[in-house]
Amino acid sequence: MSRPVDAVISFLENEKAHGRSHVYLDEEARESLRNLLRRSKQQTAQAAAKPAATTPQPGQTNQPGQQPAQPAQAPATLSATGTNKTEKLASLRARAEHWQPARSLGTLRDTMVFATGNPDARILLVGEAPGHHEENKREPFVGPAGQMLDKILITMGLKRDDVYISNIVKFRPTTPRQTTNNRKPTPQEIATCLPFIREEVAIVQPECIIALGGTAAEGLLGLEGPVGKMRGTWHEFSGIPTRVTYHPSYLLQSGSNLSVKRALWEDMLAAMEKLDMPISEKQRGFFLPKP
Ligand code: URA
C-alpha cells in the first residue's frame, strides 16, 4: 500500500529530475512533514523496544531497531599493518570492506565508503555517514554537503587534498524503500564503526580534529544535545584538540541565516589560529552582520 511519504518522495524526485534543487513548502506542508517524521520516530522507537525475532538471511537487511540474533562485537581498537601512513590506511580500508560487526547489524548498506584526503593532514574532519552521493562515488562528502564543505575549506585557504576527511560510520544507513533518502546512524551503528576513526586518528596524527555535526560529536566525544552547546570551545579526542561545529548540510538548510554561518566560521577561525595558519582581516570579518 502506498504511504503518504511515498507521494512526497516521488514529488521531490520528480522536481529533482527537472533540475530543481529547492521547493517551497507552506506552513501546512511543513506541519504534515513534521507529523510524518514524528510518526516514523515513534515507529522506530517501538521497533527498538521489541526483542529480535529472527536472524536475517544472507542478503536481507534489518531496519534500525530490529536486532539480529547475534551481532558481531566490535573490538575497542584495531591495529593497522604497514610501514607508513598510506599503507596503514590501506590496510584499515581493506578491513572495513568486510567489517562483520557493522554487516551483522543488517541496518547498514553493503558499500563501504572510507575516507579521502591527505594522510599527513594537519586537520582531520569527521562527518556522520555516507549518503546516496557518497555511496555512488565511494568517497565521503561529494554531494551537496560536500560541495559546501569544499567552499568552507576554500574560504580557509585550503583544498580537499590538504585535509583528511572521514566519517564516523563507513556505510550508508538503510531506510525502508530507500531511494536517495538518508538517515542519521543509530548509536549501535556508530559503535560498530568507532574503532576505524580511532585508528585513522592514530595513524594520521592530525594537529586538530573538526567534528562536523552532532553525530560526529556524539561518536567521538560522547556529547549529547544541540551542536550550539558543544561548539565554540575545545574538546579533546585521543589527546588531539577537537572542535565541534555545525554539519555543512545544516548550513545548507539554514539558507541565508548569517548567525549559523558566522558560528561555523568562528570554529574554523579557531582551528586556523590553533594551527598558526595565516588569517587575513578579510577572513576574520566574513559573515559578520553589516554595520
Ligand atoms: N554527510 C556526512 O556526514 N558525510 C558524508 O560523507 C556526506 C554527507
68 Cα–ligand 1 center, Å: 26
- Percentage of the chain modeled with pLDDT above 90: 71
CA neighbor of 227 nearest in space, from 241, 207, 243: 243
pLDDT tens profile 215-251: 999 999 999 999 999 999 999 999 999 999 999 999 9
Cell for 134?
557518497
Which residue's C-alpha cell is 593497522? 80
Q: Is the CB of 141 under 6 A from ligand 1?
A: yes
- Closest residue to atom 8 of ligand 1, CA basis: 141
In whole angstroms, give the CA distance from residue 279 to residue 272: 7
List the beta bridge partners of residue 126.
166, 211
Domains of the chain: 85-278 (3.40.470.10)
pLDDT tens profile 171-198: 999 999 999 999 999 999 999 999 999 9
Cell for 233?
570551545
- Whole-prediction pTM value? 0.79
Helix (H) or strand (E) holding 126: strand 123-127
149 Cα–ligand 1 center, Å: 10
- Ligand 1 nearest-atom number relative to CA 128: 3
In whole angstroms, give the CA distance from residue 270 to residue 121: 17
8 A C-beta contact, residue 270 and residue 243: yes
- 112, 116, 132, 167: residue to mutate for ligand 1 pocket, most atoms within 8 A of CB: 167
Mean pLDDT of 62-81: 72
